[in-house]
Structure formats: C-alpha cells, structure tokens
Structure 1
C-alpha cells in the first residue's frame, strides 16, 4: 500500500461529483437495478438495491481526494468500510457493479441460510 506522502503526490484522476461522472454512475445504478442518490450533507453517493429482500442495504461512496471510501450500510449502520485508491474511471465503474452485486448475492445467501 502507498504511504500517506505517496497518496498526496498522486494526481487526482477524477471527482465523483463531476456532472459526467454522476450521469455514468446513474447509468450503472439503472443497469444493476439500484437506486442512486447523493447526500449533500456529507457528500456521499449511495447505491441501494431495488430488490425488496435487500431493503435497508446500501453501498456508499465518498470522494476523499486520491481515495474513495466504500461503506456497506444496513439500516443506516455501517457494517464495513474500505478505501479504494483512485486509478481508472472505467475500472471504478466496474468495481461499483461488482461490489453491489457481491453484497446482494452474499446477503441473499445469508438470508437463505437462516431459514
């Protein structure tokens, strides 16, 4: 992993709040059947599954310079948190798809094991 000084020296390749990037994230949300929202209060971009069996689950992205924080929430409570180093925008869009799909599949698997 890069040091804090190395992270500060990285060129910031993109910003989540750029208009074109928001449009592309909205398109991803549509493709994977999620609702996409932005919380201005804390500058978070949220993907929530439209599947009623996954109600209360969300994946939240926050732009913090050279990093993106990725938080999985359930009913507003943080369940896990990761930090992704910004690199390629298209790679990030595929990572959103993967993260949201994995969380949906994993949670469905857990729910099926409970019964």
Structure 2
C-alpha cells in the first residue's frame, strides 16, 4: 500500500487526478479513500442498475454520495441506463452520470461529427 500511495502522490504532483473505479466492489474499500490521494469515486454499475426500484439500494447510493462529498470527492455513476436512474442520481447530488442512457460507445470520429452538427 505504501508504494501505491507514493506512486499516486507522484502522479498528483504532476497534476493528474485520481479516480477509484468500480467503487463498492472487489478490492475497493473505504480504507482506500482515506489512505490514498483519490479525487473521484466511480460508483460501480452493479449499484446503479434498477436502483430506482429498490429503496435499500437508493439509501446506500445516497449515503455513498454524501460520504464522498464530505471528503471532498466527486462521484461518477457508471451504467446509467434509464431516465429514472439519472433523475434520482441528480437529486442525490451525483456529480457525473455516464451510461447507455446518454449514448452507446462510439468511435471518436463519429462523436466529433455529431458534435460539429449540433454546435
């Protein structure tokens, strides 16, 4: 853990921001956001999928967002697929939502083309 902390601190020193991906699953834990120089948590899509229909999961997500903001961290919700998920996440103060609700993966050339037509 000490070598990870040193490496991340060096990256921060040159201006990079650190995001902890898939927060809430696997090896990510609360100790990581306390011990490491993390700027952002990416909430795993397994929390997001259909959470708008489950009061217990809504409570967990709302509390994770509050915890992160209390520590000065941004929250990104991965895997947002329907409007109801997006609306609740906005209501809870989620900083960024990403997922198929907004767009499916696409090549950069298509993204640039579509953006040039709407600008």
> What is the TM-score of this pair, normalised by structure 2?
0.24
Question: Whose radius of gyration is greater, 1 or 2?
Answer: 2
If each structure's strand is expressed as a fraction of its own residues, which one has the higher value? Answer: 1
More helix by share: 2
